[in-house]
Amino acid sequence: MNNGGWRVSVPVPRDMVKIVGKTRLKRSLETHSQAEAERRKHAVVAEFLAMIEAARAGRLPKAVVTGIAAVPSMSSKELTSLALDLRASLQSQEGGTEAVELETDGIYQVADKIRGQEVGVDEETDSPIFDRQSEEKAGQFLRVALGKETPVREPLDLFHAQVKWSPRTKSDSSRAITSLEDWCKENRVPFVIEAITRRRAGQFIGDLAASTERPLTNRTINKYLSCLSQFWFWLEKRGYVELDSSPWSRQSLPKVQPTEDEKERPFTDEEMIKLFAGEPNQSYLKDVMLIGALTGARIDAIVSLKRKDITDSGSFRFKPQKREKASRQVPIHSGLKSIIERLVEGKRPEDVDSH
């Protein structure tokens, strides 16, 4: 017994370990009652022994071995990971062979375990009734394992590794994906590539633009849409979706033009307190904000600072801006000294200080 309750553990014969891929077959019985565990264990032991004999006869699908521990209580994340492993195994088999049939049958067997035991019978149809949540999990598992659905995040790391984007743009892309995921949860839309239709993409954009909880400018939303559009274009090239099927094409919001009487103004005290009380998504932004507030320098001049621009006399040497003909030195405010010490530690003269 472990913290999750009683479980069955059956040793695999030494000559079968290489074929089965495990030294022991284990599965939770999903109960803390010893009496109930005694009742449930016999069917599981019999199943494990049958699996070992099937392996000996060369008819044990990898799906069955991989899914031994699958139970209805597994989280959606765990089931998705398992389904993706089994899909990779299925897709590695040569089409039309007995191996494909075995692996597919094994995936259905795992889905049956995830669905669990029936909890009743429909009197009208005489068909079994299963726990609704477990049945939903089993259905989602099947769709992913059989390649009918792909979780949006599954190819995202590979996309970010291959695309030539700056860290800042990749961060924008991650925020766009998170916003889409949050929207899908709120609207009970499966967070899979196939579920993001053009209509849903439009609803997502409209809800982002109308949100008062965390208002975003049209410029920020368009930046998110650009990231999502390029991600879907990559998905097209890699065969995840059909060509020219991106739901994000021509979905941008109009640029907001400033009014004629709109003028630049300083931040109010309330706005400054709100800005510095929050925690930005990129930790380095807080440093940039503080340097800007205590020097008056433009953001381009701040992010361009190098180690050599921190002078021995305790000043910043900012590069020329706009009509300036030469660099200018600004004394480092006492409130910035600890930040600058941290930023320059271990840096070479040409290293950028503000990142």
Using DSSP bridges, classify how beta strands 315-318 and 328-331 pair: parallel, antiparallel or unpaired.
Answer: antiparallel
Cα–Cα dist 259/269, whole Å = 24
Please tell me the predicted confidence (pLDDT) of residue 147: 87
Q: What is the CA radius of gyration of the chain?
A: 29
Cα–Cα dist 72/66, whole Å = 15
Q: How far is CA 176 from CA 171, 182, 231, 275, 324, in A?
A: 9, 10, 11, 22, 38
258 has a pLDDT exceeding 70: no
Phi, psi of 185 (to 5 degrees): -65, -45
Write down the pTM of the prediction: 0.59
**Other beta carbons less than 10 A from residue 167's beta carbon:** 11
Using DSSP bridges, classify how beta strands 328-331 and 7-11 pair: parallel, antiparallel or unpaired.
Answer: unpaired
Q: What confidence tens digit (pLDDT) does each residue in 316-338 have?
A: 998 887 777 788 889 999 999 99
208 has a pLDDT exceeding 80: yes
68 has a pLDDT exceeding 90: no
**Mean pLDDT in the chain?**
85
What are the extents of the domains in the chain? 7-145, 156-237, 269-344
19 has a pLDDT exceeding 80: no
**Other beta carbons less than 10 A from residue 199's beta carbon:** 9
Consecutive H or E run containing 28: strand 24-28
Question: Higher-confidence residue: 254 or 59?
Answer: 254
Neighbouring residues of 19: CB distance < 8 A, sequence distance ≥ 6: 55, 56, 60
96 has a pLDDT exceeding 80: no
Q: How confident is the model at residue 230 (pLDDT cuts 50, 70, 90)?
A: very high
